[in-house]
Amino acid sequence: MCGIFGVVGEDAAMRTLEGLRRLEYRGYDSSGIAALIDSSDKSKKVKTERSVGHVSSLAAKVNGKFEGSIVSIGHTRWATHGGVTENNAHPHSSSDGLMSVVHNGIIENTSDLLTELTKNQYKMASETDTELIIHLLHLEIGDSRDFETVFGAFKRVINRLKGAWAIAV
Ligand code: GLU
């Protein structure tokens, strides 16, 4: 059983990491976190670290790199689509690096969704079903980044997914 944790607020990444430690008892094969750093980070890109094995390995990589984080999501993975590799560990990011997703569960209609994304020039960086979600969201919103647009698009995307899941973006 895998787990998701998310924090909005001060020191979000380190608090997310602590959340993942609390979820370790559920079992997992790899883990990762992504965070937005405060507004002084002009790139607005999501910073990500992932690791195979224990959350302690992730913690060693994260150490000192997420100062000033204001929003963070984290994941402990139990692989269903794609091997146990760092590249398949969550979070998965959009190609522009501005959004990131974690997901527990299985998406069953991956092949149709992948065909659509491939037609729209999206390239997969992992073997997971999860990565489709963030590209579908990007396809829906284009360059818009206001909350209402993104949230509306997210609801449309999840309505298209078949299977069972929990998702944080
Ligand atoms: N199906 C996803 C994957 O294989 C999520 C697995 C999970 O629930 O951790 O990456």
Three-state DSSP class for residue 48? strand
C-alpha 160/C-alpha 70 separation (Å) is 30
Which atom of ligand 1 is least distant from the CA of 75?
9
Is the CB of residue 131 below 6 angstroms from any atom belonging to ligand 1? no
| pLDDT bucket at 41, cuts 50 / 70 / 90 | low
pLDDT for the residue 145: 83
Whose CA is closest to atom 7 on ligand 1? 104
**What pTM was estimated for this model as a whole?**
0.94
Given a cut of 80, whether residue 128 has pLDDT beyond it is: yes
Q: Hey, what are 105's tokens? A: 């569960």
Average pLDDT over residues 86-102: 96
Which atom of ligand 1 is least distant from the CA of 77?
9
pLDDT above 90 covers what percent of the chain?
88
Is the CB of residue 135 below 6 angstroms from any atom belonging to ligand 1? no
C-alpha 139/C-alpha 94 separation (Å) is 10
Q: Taking all residues of the chain, what is their mean pLDDT, rounded to a whole number?
A: 94
C-alpha 101/C-alpha 15 separation (Å) is 18
